[in-house]
Amino acid sequence: MDVIREFDPWHDPLCTCPKKYGLNPYTGCEHGCLYCYITSYIPRAFECRPKHNLIARIERDLKQIDRGRVISMSNSSDPYPPMEAKLGLTRSCLRLFSRENCKVQVITKSNLVTRDLDLLSKMRVVVSFTIVTLDQELSQKLEPNAPSPKKRLEAMKRLSDAGVPVSLRVDPVIPYLTNGGAVDVIKAAARHGVRHVTSSTFKPRPDSWRRIQNAFPSIASKLRPLYFERGRRHHNCWYLPQELRRRLMDEIRQACDGEGLTFATCREGLAKIGVGASCDGSHLIGQRFFSKRPVL
């Protein structure tokens, strides 16, 4: 296939996602998040470019896909970069997927997603928002060009109020930097209609480590021995020690339990953490939550 492709091109054994497809309407992402992994494999990764002749290419791919699988938008970009407001490329994709009754997951940091509420409210879809901190100053430093956490929460509420299932990604959790506010993120998201939380610890690659080190030198000095002396390397990134990752994820899980939310970790390889839901929140697709009780 051309633009709709098998998710997880690295075949990571720690990935617990159900089999699904990935689609990136844009190449690169303007958010410029310091912790982002796409700079390790996408040239000019923080320059967003629309994909040429995308809808015609998707129409060809749709003839080959397994319609039972979810199409995830997007894993190597944001489907709602600033230029989407003018170009409407993601909206065109959603219109096509709605017509074809495809199952879709939208992963974003942008409140622009609410523009497409008319389509999303009629689709088999879940919208996943990434929020790593409620601290606006910290968010602006970590995610310099992304909409504020407040705007993302407001967008969650608008979608949820319309019956669109919404999940939260607290990803990544960075010790000494974002972990202290993770529980507050979960509580706020629950008030704004979130039903599922996916979380993961920061797994630096050489490029993202340099950005974190330059922006937060004192924090990096504390993280360095955790990753590069006590941690381990997996594929092209570094993992925190297992006991620390388990503690951090347990704190997230406990907060989710307190709010009645389902929870799962992402590529942590930790047993007995989570509640049997899909790790990515795709189990919410097809559900409508106009109240505390889901309508299937």
pLDDT at 294: 45
Q: How far, in Å, CA of 90 to CA of 137, rounded? A: 29
Q: Within a 10 A sphere around the Cβ of 90, how many other Cβ atoms? A: 27
Instruction: Give the contacts of 244 (CB within 8 A, at least 6 positions apart).
Output: 175, 226
Q: How far, in Å, CA of 1 to CA of 18, rounded? A: 19
Provide φ and ψ at 31, rounded to 5°. -60, -35
Q: How far, in Å, CA of 247 to CA of 38, rounded? A: 27
pLDDT at 138: 98
pLDDT at 126: 98
- pLDDT tens, position by position, 118-128: 999 999 999 99
Q: How far, in Å, CA of 250 to CA of 17, rounded? A: 20
Q: Which fold has domain 5-284?
A: TIM Barrel (3.20.20)
pLDDT at 202: 98
pLDDT at 93: 98
pLDDT at 59: 97
**Contact indicator for 8, 37 with CB cutoff of 8 Å:** no
Residues in the chain predicted with pLDDT less than 50, given as ranges, are 291-296
pLDDT at 10: 65
pLDDT at 178: 96
What is the chain's alpha carbon radius of gyration, rounded to the nearest angstrom?
18
pLDDT at 275: 59
- pLDDT tens, position by position, 171-180: 999 999 999 9
Three-state secondary-structure class, residue 208: helix
Element (H, E) at 252: helix 242-259
Report which of 236, 226, 268, 173 is spatially closest to residue 39, judged by C-alpha positions. Answer: 236
Q: What residues does each domain of the chain span?
A: 5-284
pLDDT at 287: 81
pLDDT at 104: 98
Three-state secondary-structure class, residue 106: strand
pTM for the structure as a whole: 0.94
